[in-house]
């Protein structure tokens, strides 16, 4: 089995990222609708793989779809799982409910997706590495969201930190299963070219920016807010 994953290294990474949303879905059934929506909204980002491969990294794809379609099955699996996880890490770990607060903004989701991708591509065309352009575009989208919803600033920060921490754990497990994988497959020379505990710094920054943006984006689109879960009453009251 490991020989298979040593060949199809991106598939293993995508499957590892499926674990957090599965755990969250089991522990918090009330977050499942949010997870489904986040996974669906994240799918367009799979189409951007052609701008990362092979300059930023060069994994092996099932059926060599990267050369046929410009993205692979792994991309769809990864972005859906990561989107579902990033959008729900904060309410799951901080024990928050999501409740209606104001009218939804259905067009905001399309604007965020199209705007983020377009901004990243423009920055990349201007000479910035695609990974750096992606992180910058996410932070720009987050700044715009927080102007609309300043109440989401703290959840976005905490959610980003939660996602980064779990992202790092997954990367460490990945590196333990496939020793040397980050040295063989990742090409980070165009950006920071630094690592933390063997994990490329770019990956951790991506986790932070994506986690913060996802934490703020879904409530902003749906018109909801985070509310602290009520503490259970102690026995005898």
Listed residue (89, 73, 74, 75) closest to 38, CA to CA: 89
* Ranges of H-type helices in 8-127: 9-16, 19-27, 32-42, 65-68, 73-93, 106-125
Question: pLDDT tens digits for 196-237?
Answer: 999 999 999 999 999 999 999 999 998 999 998 766 555 554
| CA dihedral of 107, 143, 81, 88, whole degrees rounded to 10 | -90
- pLDDT bucket at 106, cuts 50 / 70 / 90: confident
Q: Tell me the per-residue pLDDT of 156-183, one tens digit each, with 9 for 90 and over.
A: 999 999 999 999 999 999 999 999 999 9
Crossing angle of helices 153-177 and 201-222, in 10° steps, is 140
Which pLDDT score is estimated for 213? 96
Predicted pLDDT at 83: 96
Each residue's pLDDT tens digit, 134-152: 999 999 999 999 999 999 9
Q: Which residues pair with 225 in a beta bridge?
A: 99
Give the global pTM: 0.91
Helix or strand or coil: residue 151?
helix
């Amino acid at each position: 089995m490991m020989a298979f994953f040593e060949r199809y290294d991106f598939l293993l990474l995508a499957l590892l990222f499926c674990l957090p949303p599965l755990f969250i879905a089991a522990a918090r059934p009330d977050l499942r609708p949010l997870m489904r929506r986040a996974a669906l909204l994240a799918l367009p980002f799979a189409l951007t793989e052609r701008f990362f491969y092979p300059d930023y990294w060069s994994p092996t794809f099932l059926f060599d779809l990267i050369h046929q379609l410009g993205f692979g099955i792994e991309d769809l699996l990864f972005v859906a799982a990561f989107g579902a996880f990033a959008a729900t890490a904060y309410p799951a770990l901080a024990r928050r409910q999501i409740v209606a607060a104001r009218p939804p903004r259905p067009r905001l989701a399309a604007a965020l997706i199209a705007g983020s991708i377009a901004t990243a591509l423009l920055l990349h065309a201007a000479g910035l590495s695609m990974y750096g352009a992606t992180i910058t575009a996410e932070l720009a989208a987050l700044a715009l969201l927080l102007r609309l919803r300043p109440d989401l600033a703290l959840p976005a920060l905490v959610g980003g930190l939660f996602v980064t921490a779990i992202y790092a754990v997954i990367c460490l497990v990945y590196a333990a299963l496939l020793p040397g994988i980050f040295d063989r497959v990742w090409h980070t020379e165009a950006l920071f070219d630094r690592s933390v505990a063997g994990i490329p710094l770019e990956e951790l920054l991506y986790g932070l920016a994506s986690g913060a943006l996802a934490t703020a984006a879904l409530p902003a689109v749906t018109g909801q807010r985070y509310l602290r879960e009520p503490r259970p009453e102690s026995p005898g009251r």
